[in-house]
Amino acid sequence: MHKYNEHYVPEDIAGKLGESFLRNPLTAVLGVVILALGWIALSTMPREEDPQIAISGGGVIVAMPGATPREVENIISTPLEAKLREINGVEHIYSTSKDNVGIVQVMYHIGEDREDSNLKLYDKVIQNMDKMPKGVMQPIIKTFDIDIDVPIITLAFYQTDPSKLSIAEFNEKLRTLKYDIAGIENVAKVTLHGAHKEQYNVKIDVDKLTGYHVSLGMVMMAIKKFTAKAPLIKGETNSGKIVMFGVDSAVNGIEAIKNIQVSVYRGDPLYLKKIATVEKGIDEQNYKEVEFFNKVDEGNSSSKIGEYTPQVTLAASKLAGTNAVVVANNILELIESKKEELEKLGIGYKVTRNYGERANQAVEELMHHLFITIVIISIMLVFALGWRESLIVTFSVPAILAITLFIAYISGQTMNRITLFAFLLSLGLLVDAAIIVIENIHRHLHLTKAETQEMGELLVEATDEVGAPTNVATLAIIMTMVPMAFVGGMMGAFMKPIPYNVPVALLASLFVAYIFTPYLSLKLLKKPKSTDPYDAEHNPYDICGVCLNDSDEKEEDSKKEEK
Amino acid sequence: MKKIEDFVYWILESRFRKNMVIGLTILAFFASLLMFPTGAVLARMLPGKNATTFSIYLDTPTGSSIKETKRVAHCIGDVLKNEKDIVDMSFFYGQGIPLDYAGLAKGSVMKQAENEAEISVNLTPTHEREEPSFLMVSRLRPIVNEQCANVVPGTSIKFIEQPSGPPTLAQIVVEVTGKNLKQIRELSHEVADILKNTKDLVDVDILSDEVYETYKLVPDIQKIADESLSVEQVNNILYLAFQGMVVATKNSKNKLTQIPIYLVLNRKSKELEGDGVESLKAKIEGLNLMNRRGEQTPLTELVKIVKVKSNPTITHKDLKRMINVIAETDNVSQVYPLLDARSKMMEHFKEKYKVETAPISTYMFDLILTDKKTGERFLIRWDGEMKVTLDTFRDLGAAFIAALVLIFFLLVIYYKSFAISGIILGGSFLSLIGVIIGHWVADLVTTNTFFLTATSLIGFIALMGISSRNSLLLIDYTMGLIHYDDMEKKRAIAKASATRATPIFLTAVAIILGSALLASDPIFGGLGVALISGTVAAVFVSLLFVPVLMSNTAAICKPETIEAQKAQEARKKEKAKKASSNTDDEKETKKEDKK
């Protein structure tokens, strides 16, 4: 009745792709390569919790000792604001005028290039240096950098046994540790919060000051006099040789400071120790302290510390575009290797922030989520279409994600909260193309003409048939996602990964559906050997499990037996 | 499948039943839209995030000492330490916590005064904890404020949560702008009072200094000149005495830093006994300055002590004097309290000022006040998360409309018919019914308020694509049946609905199962619910509503164009072959019989 051996000519890109890859031995290789690339991207892609938003801005701090806020406002803030307003790309300018100091902050539009913005700010300030009012100190320009300034890891260090180290020694130890960490690859900025410095504290008793008839100024001068350090002096011998010599600092150690002579009182030298207490301690004028409260586990007595223990927080940030997980782990490894040494010195520590771990958890959670979803969908498909068909769709999900991930990786994106959101969003959409193609193949296989049609041709035809509407529909979905790329401001920058990744995932889903679904169908699916076109049981349109492959097979088996 | 085919055919047969479907759909659409104004579904930009950390910012009044700040911090610590989910806390005095995402926009880095402190609180991991962090914060906030805000009167304690979206200064930011410094200070206090009395608004704070008492030492210029001293010397000696100064440093070979020598009065000498002119005078008495002749002059002879008020900081935004009043919402959308507070403000300021409202823009909530006596103008501007939300919706809305137009043209190019494209686009819009009802149901089922959020909207946008894909496949197949198989229109539509029902169901189930896990997530829950309920609605729309519209439009049965028909002549042959062998359709069976 019909000539089924007549070659089917695909019209749509779907059929064409399907045809050219159908019997190509490289298709399998391509599949493996795609999965491998995806795996590489997954394991090496920088992970971080929040997406990077290019916030550019900076502040100019101008000090003017003795000026009131109103004076600062008139002389510093307002003229400076007006000047900075001239910079292209500035969104808002804020200023605070306080006693003695004016601070002007510049916020650029989101997405302005950071280096350019910083240069423009410096340029503007330096250009107008000649217009600076008199009595004003050199302006300080501070630009900010979100990647470098937001630490990815913080550690609280505290003394479990204060008798082992003095506070100064404890701080000194942490300072060494800080430089060790700064040396780790991709670590950007390491800071210590609540750290104290060693210092000689000279505390003067006013009563004695008056008693010995000395003024505070004299004491200050006396200390300055004896602590001056001069460079080496070059001398020459008569034979032309150079001799180097120099005056050593007169003050070496605490005893020397105590014995600095301030003045002469009734013929006797008046030493510093007579009017003041001198001690080697910490910079107690620095009120920027940090305290730690750690809930102690019952039974773990080694970490027992007081309720509000002084601590020093070490915070480290990473360079832009690097993997938070790797950097955080490297830092922790280094500290772990020094744990024993620290314990001996009576120093305990606790990780109080680890964005690396959080980013990792988020990614792992997604992987877990994806895995469960794929399992659920494939089980559903086993019932609806058959296990072979289900297997084919199940393969397509990791393949699509692999392509998307790899493209995200090479386009310099990082794996963060919002990228994951984009993947979750596309998850429901990804399998659609594959399901539509496989369903149509399944339907064609159960048509009467399937008996005589060559398998490959049938697959190509089935793919081609749904190609055009699927293409248009996918294009339509892509078009709904693309507008998000044009949302401005902070929110726009924040959700950029969605318009970047969802369309890629959808396009990938089309290609995977057109290339791999027919290919795998050829390998896995078989034409039902005998189908009775009028058998209601074989109604191929029923989704309710009537057309289960298993039942097909059973019936086939029974038919065989009959034969 | 036959059942679906018969059912669709049954509907299509009667004009009344068709109108019923259209009527019911439109009714459902408007009924679901009504859920917004009635408050059955509440909208919010982004929901709270279940994080493992939050921080507390505390500001004692300007001019408070680090000791007072510490006392408040310890009070907070004492309250929080009994919480079983709190693992550790770090108290940062006179500085911000190491910068985090929330602190970026809140000026955390600029903190350096003695009256400022931040506490970083770490919680147990999210999956080990029943209470999400945003509910915990909302529960602890009143307790902490009640117990600790009065340790030092005038203290402001703010709970800062990790934002689920981009960081902002605060959820509600009111900028009071004007020329008259004194009046904008007053206005900002009035605004703050209104915000404090608005339901669901918490952590209200005025971002300006409090005025406190200071003492001015007025130098007696004549005397200073007589003694051949200078004002600078007077300044230095006072600074050295009370604040201390590093007078020299000592380098060290085996230390990483220089060791400074710090000079200051001892505690007994510098501590004041109470605040007052007399006690300050008593302390200064012992300080002497030495003139060139080597004679000591007591400092008290050179200066006169006067009590004055401190000069508060002046803040500008874009060259205008401005004071910020900020507030956070207590786990609700910021829209409703904002509107509430705004109408209260209009009422409150009516007496003294002429109140005008701003035109439609993303600053549309602004109020312009004109003083009835002086004619001076002040601006009350709403910024913060509200502004971000409005800006986002404006951009997203505009871009989305552009996308709809593009899709429409894409469909017109594909089908060469406005009517069919219109059906697809219109049909896809109806998934909104499902999205809204889904949120309403989710809100009923869950104990907390379930908000319609930005993620729900993104879900809706994706759904539009999904349901237009359904309609597309359906129409394509119907056209195929009509054009190539010469099937009667209603029968073709019914058959297409039945045949396409399988992939429509399968993809719908895939989406529903794929999003089921999402629905329980605090942030992505909106997306999950939108996808699940929207898909259900989309299935009904695709299988019932779209067929009805299809049968009503003339475009479906009209052959597209002659050229197109010719071009598809070859394909028609193929299709005819295939269709004639189609097994389960009675029509075709008949056809085959005839042959």
Q: What is the pLDDT of residues B273-319, one digit of tens each?
A: 777 778 788 777 777 777 767 677 788 888 888 888 888 888 888 88
Residues of B in contact with A85 (CB under 8 A): 318-319
Nearest CA in chain B to A152: B100
Q: Does B240 touch chain A (CB under 8 A)?
A: yes
What pLDDT is attached to residue B451? Answer: 79
Q: How many CB atoms lie within 10 A of CB A437?
A: 32
Residue B595 clears pLDDT 60, i.e. is over it: no
DSSP string of B206-230? E-SPPP-EEEEEEE-HHHHHHTT--
**Chain A: closest CA distance from residue B42 (Å):** 21
Q: Does A367 touch chain B (CB under 8 A)?
A: no
Q: How many CB atoms lie within 10 A of CB B214?
A: 13
Secondary structure (H, E, C), A145-167: CHHHHCCCEEEEEEECCCCCCCH
Residue A561 clears pLDDT 90, i.e. is over it: no
Is A534 in Cβ contact with B81 (below 8 Å)?
Answer: no
Query: pLDDT tens digits, residue range A350-399?
Result: 888 888 888 888 778 777 877 887 888 888 888 877 788 788 888 888 88
DSSP string of B478-533? HHHHHHHH---HHHHHHHHHHHHHHHHHHHHHHHHHHHHTGGGSTTTHHHHHHHHH
What pLDDT is attached to residue B297? Answer: 79
Spatial separation of the C-alpha atoms in residues B57 and B245, rounded to whole Å = 30
Residue with tokens 């993620």: B455
φ and ψ at B13, to 5 degrees?
Answer: -60, -35
Of B264, B473, B527, the CB nearest to A425: B527
Which class for A247: exposed (0-12), middle (13-18), buried (19 or more C-beta within 10 A)?
exposed
A469/A192: higher pLDDT = A192
Residues of B in contact with A149 (CB under 8 A): 99, 109
Is A224 in Cβ contact with B248 (below 8 Å)?
Answer: yes
User: Which residues in chain A (283-322) have CB-CB distances under 8 A to chain B?
Assistant: 283, 285, 287-295, 307-308, 311, 313, 315
CB B216 within 8 A of CB B262: no
What pLDDT is attached to residue A1? Answer: 37
Nearest to B167 by CA among B98, B104, B96: B104
Nearest to B109 by CA among A416, A139, A105: A105
Residue burial B73-102, b: 16+ Cβ < 10 Å; e: rest: bbbbbebbeebebbbbbbbbbbbbbbbbbb
From residue B86, alpha-carbon distances to B90, B101, B121, B145 in Å are: 11, 20, 7, 18
ipTM higher than the 0.95 cut: no
Nearest CA in chain A to B5: A541
Q: Does B395 touch chain A (CB under 8 A)?
A: yes
Which class for A558: exposed (0-12), middle (13-18), buried (19 or more C-beta within 10 A)?
exposed
Nearest CA in chain A to B495: A541
- Which amino acid is present at A203? K
Nearest CA in chain A to B243: A285
What pLDDT is attached to residue A542? Answer: 40
Is B296 in Cβ contact with A217 (below 8 Å)?
Answer: no
φ and ψ at A491, to 5 degrees?
Answer: -65, -40
Nearest CA in chain B to A94: B317
What does the pLDDT average to over B209-233? 81
Residues near B294 by Cβ (< 8 Å), separated by ≥ 6?
none
Query: pLDDT tens digits, residue range B522-537?
Result: 777 888 888 888 888 8
From residue A246, alpha-carbon distances to A236, A252, A264, B251 in Å are: 14, 15, 28, 16
Nearest CA in chain B to A487: B395
A350/B556: higher pLDDT = A350
Spatial separation of the C-alpha atoms in residues B462 and A480, rounded to whole Å = 7
**Which SS3 state, helix, strand or coil, does residue B336 take?**
helix
What pLDDT is attached to residue A251? Answer: 66
Q: Does B266 touch chain A (CB under 8 A)?
A: yes
The pLDDT-based confidence of B56 (bands split at 50, 70, 90) is very high
Is A154 in Cβ contact with B101 (below 8 Å)?
Answer: no
Nearest CA in chain A to B283: A206
Token couple for A87: 């910079």
Cβ-Cβ contacts under 8 Å between A and B: the total is: 419
CB B485 within 8 A of CB B461: no
- Which of A48, A140, A293 should be substituted to probe chain B, the one whose Cβ sees the most B Cβ atoms within 10 Å? A293
- Which amino acid is present at A13? I
CB B383 within 8 A of CB B173: yes
Query: pLDDT tens digits, residue range B62-120?
Result: 888 888 899 999 999 988 888 888 888 999 998 888 888 888 778 777 788 888 999 99
Q: Does A509 touch chain B (CB under 8 A)?
A: no
Nearest CA in chain A to B290: A215
Q: Does A155 touch chain B (CB under 8 A)?
A: no
**Which SS3 state, helix, strand or coil, does residue B37 take?**
coil
CB A361 within 8 A of CB A330: no
Residues near B384 by Cβ (< 8 Å), separated by ≥ 6?
B168, B169, B170, B171, B172, B173, B326, B334
Residues of chain B with pLDDT > 70, as a percent, come to: 91
User: Which residues in chain B (316-355) have CB-CB distances under 8 A to chain A?
Assistant: 316-319
Q: Does B577 touch chain A (CB under 8 A)?
A: yes
User: Which residues in chain A (13-42) have CB-CB distances under 8 A to chain B?
Assistant: none
Residues of A in contact with B241 (CB under 8 A): 206, 216
Nearest to A275 by CA among A218, A198, A200: A218
Residue with tokens 């330490």: B81
Query: pLDDT tens digits, residue range B366-411?
Result: 888 888 888 888 888 888 877 877 787 788 778 778 878 888 888 8
Of A78, A220, A432, the CB nearest to B469: A432
Token couple for B245: 């100064």
Query: pLDDT tens digits, residue range B324-351?
Result: 898 888 877 777 888 888 888 888 888 8
Of A63-77, A436-450, B190-204, least confident by mean pLDDT is: A436-450
Query: pLDDT tens digits, residue range A533-549?
Result: 444 444 444 433 333 34
Residues near B107 by Cβ (< 8 Å), separated by ≥ 6?
B169
Secondary structure (H, E, C), A417-478: HHHHHHHHHHHHHHHHHHHHHHHHHHHHHCCHHHHCCCHHHHHHHHHHHHHHHHHHHHHHHH
What pLDDT is attached to residue B1? Answer: 63
**Chain B: closest CA distance from residue A237 (Å):** 30
Residues of chain A with pLDDT > 90, as a percent, come to: 6
Mean pLDDT of chain B: 80
What pLDDT is attached to residue B256? Answer: 60
User: Which residues in chain B (199-228) have CB-CB distances under 8 A to chain A?
Assistant: none
Residues of B in contact with A294 (CB under 8 A): 87-88
CB B456 within 8 A of CB B548: no
Residues of A in contact with B317 (CB under 8 A): 92-94
Is B469 in Cβ contact with A8 (below 8 Å)?
Answer: no
**Which SS3 state, helix, strand or coil, does residue B161 take?**
strand
CB A494 within 8 A of CB B490: no
Nearest CA in chain A to B163: A50
CB B366 within 8 A of CB B377: no
- Which of B83, B91, B173 should be substituted to probe chain A, the one whose Cβ sees the most A Cβ atoms within 10 Å? B91
From residue A177, alpha-carbon distances to A172, A187, A341, A347, A357 in Å are: 9, 13, 12, 12, 22
Q: How many CB atoms lie within 10 A of CB B279?
A: 13
Query: pLDDT tens digits, residue range A212-270?
Result: 878 788 888 888 877 766 667 888 888 888 887 777 666 667 788 888 888 887 888 88
What pLDDT is attached to residue A536? Answer: 40
Nearest to B69 by CA among A310, A283, A287, A352: A287
Q: Does A380 touch chain B (CB under 8 A)?
A: yes
Reported as half-sphere exposure (CB side, CA atoms, 13 A), residue A489 has a value of 20
Nearest to B327 by CA among B158, B574, B560, B102: B158
Spatial separation of the C-alpha atoms in residues A453 and B110, rounded to whole Å = 76
What pLDDT is attached to residue B120? Answer: 92
Residue A333 clears pLDDT 90, i.e. is over it: yes
Residues of A in contact with B72 (CB under 8 A): none
Nearest to A296 by CA among A404, A393, A402, A158: A158
Query: pLDDT tens digits, residue range A477-493?
Result: 888 888 888 877 777 78
Nearest CA in chain A to B266: A203
What pLDDT is attached to residue B561? Answer: 45
Mean pLDDT of chain A: 79
The pLDDT-based confidence of B591 (bands split at 50, 70, 90) is very low
Distance of CA A158 to the CA centre of its chain: 27
β-bridge pairing A242-245 and A233-236: antiparallel
Secondary structure (H, E, C), B95-154: CCCCCCCCHHHCCHHHCCCCCEEEEEEEECCHHHCCCCHHHHHHHHHHHHHHHHCCCCCC
Residues of B in contact with A441 (CB under 8 A): none
Is B267 in Cβ contact with A69 (below 8 Å)?
Answer: no
